[in-house]
Amino acid sequence: MSEPVLTISGLNVDYGTGDAAVHALRDIDLTLHRGEVLGLAGESGSGKSTLAYAVTRLLSPPGVITGGDVRYHRRDGEALDLLTLSPAELRAFRWQELSIVFQGAMNSLNPVHTVHSQLTDVLKAHRPEMRRPERTARAEELLSLVGISTDRLSAYPHQLSGGMRQRVMIAMALALEPEIVIMDEPTTALDVVMQRQILRQLVKLREQLDFSVVFITHDISLLIEFSDRIAIMYGGRIVEEAGASDIYRDPRHPYSDGLLHSFPALHGPRRELTGIPGSPPHLSAMPAGCAFHPRCGKALDPCATQVPVLSRPDGGDSRTVACWLHQEAPAQAAATSRP
């Protein structure tokens, strides 16, 4: 695996403070390596967007980071502690080193400005040395990169299809050649064919421009196809992380297995779609022990009372999983399977 570009350790996020606080993220450990596409999957409410907002310091109240460490590693080896950057340092960091395409971003283009003016505004703000013709040339280049004809520069957002608007957002995110691009469910409003097209393009661009991607979605079948590694979240924790093909062939966490059986795979052998019984827990009523145990067909006794920590069932770095099925259960708890 290549060197890390972003390391998250022990990250905790709450919404609210004091007695009203609910834990949205718990003990998140995650590493993004240079040049890789890391997929983040999990049902609605599992904390995917909260994680994206927390690492980019865009979390707004009542969200608070209550612990942990997030570091960005420059190519020269210098590590930046993202949780202590000043507002000015953060402004320089965002877009230049890390950019984020938000959930629902295709609707966040300004309807009264042309694509040209929105793309060149980013350049104007961050590259004051660029002159107008250079900015226009770069805007054309960016549009071509994402597969849109340059004559659409003069278009207004409403004159573009949803897929095109999404690509414009991606072009904007790439404008300053950041090292990391985080895409938070950028494609849910698009049809499946368009989603795959955009993702395929992104992976190609990643090879061309050598950036790393965190791609967030609830549709794990897209991630199997396009990402190098996948981290799966449930109830604010990462429950499994492994190479995409390892997750596909041999998911170890019953929740990963459930997710894989919730979406039709586009390639490979057919799987029966069984889904996951029940629904995700609410933050204010998180089950004790493993948050997934009430929905889990394989729950053991300790699952209801003790939180399993991420461990390495195979030794080495290739896979981590937080599940009592795959680690030594606490001594006093007998591993009697439930019906």
Q: Nearer Cβ to ligand ATP, position 45 or 254?
A: 45
Q: Is 212 in the site for Mg ion (CB under 5 A)?
A: no
For the CB of residue 334, give the shortest distance to Mg ion in the complex, in Å.
Answer: 39
Q: In what order do the strands lie in the sheet with 4-15?
A: 22-33, 4-15, 63-73, 79-81
Q: Is 56 in the site for Mg ion (CB under 5 A)?
A: no
**Secondary structure element (H or E) that encloses residue 162, with its range:** helix 162-174
> Binding partner of residue 45 among Mg ion, ligand ATP, none, CB under 5 to 8 Å per kind?
ligand ATP
For the CB of residue 144, give the shortest distance to ligand ATP in the complex, in Å.
Answer: 31
Beta pairing partners, 98: 94, 180
- Torsion over CA: 34, 39, 42, 44 (sign): positive
Among 23, 29, 47, 49, binds Mg ion (CB under 5 A): 49
Q: Is 217 in the site for Mg ion (CB under 5 A)?
A: no
Tokens of 262: 């919730």
Evaluate whether 198 touches 190 at the Cβ level (below 8 Å): yes
Q: Nearer Cβ to ligand ATP, position 52 or 205?
A: 52
Q: Which stretch binds Mg ion (CB under 5 A): 16-24, 95-103, 109-117, 306-314?
A: 95-103
> Binding partner of residue 44 among ligand ATP, Mg ion, none, CB under 5 to 8 Å per kind?
ligand ATP
Q: Nearer Cβ to ligand ATP, position 12 or 318?
A: 12
Find tokens 């000043």 and name the residue.
Answer: 86
Query: Could you give the 3-state DSSP secondary structure of residue 153?
Result: helix
Tokens of 231: 């981290």
Q: Nearer Cβ to ligand ATP, position 44 or 149?
A: 44
CA distance 103 to 93: 21
For the CB of residue 22, give the shortest distance to ligand ATP in the complex, in Å.
Answer: 7
Indicate the residue type of 150: T
Find tokens 């793309």 and name the residue.
Answer: 119
Pairing label, strands 180-184, 212-217: parallel
How many residues make contact with Mg ion (CB under 5 A)?
Answer: 3
Q: Is 195 in the site for Mg ion (CB under 5 A)?
A: no
Q: Nearer Cβ to ligand ATP, position 185 or 240?
A: 185
Q: Nearer Cβ to Mg ion, position 184 or 225?
A: 184
CA distance 13 to 19: 15
Interface residues with Mg ion (CB under 5 A) are 48-49, 103
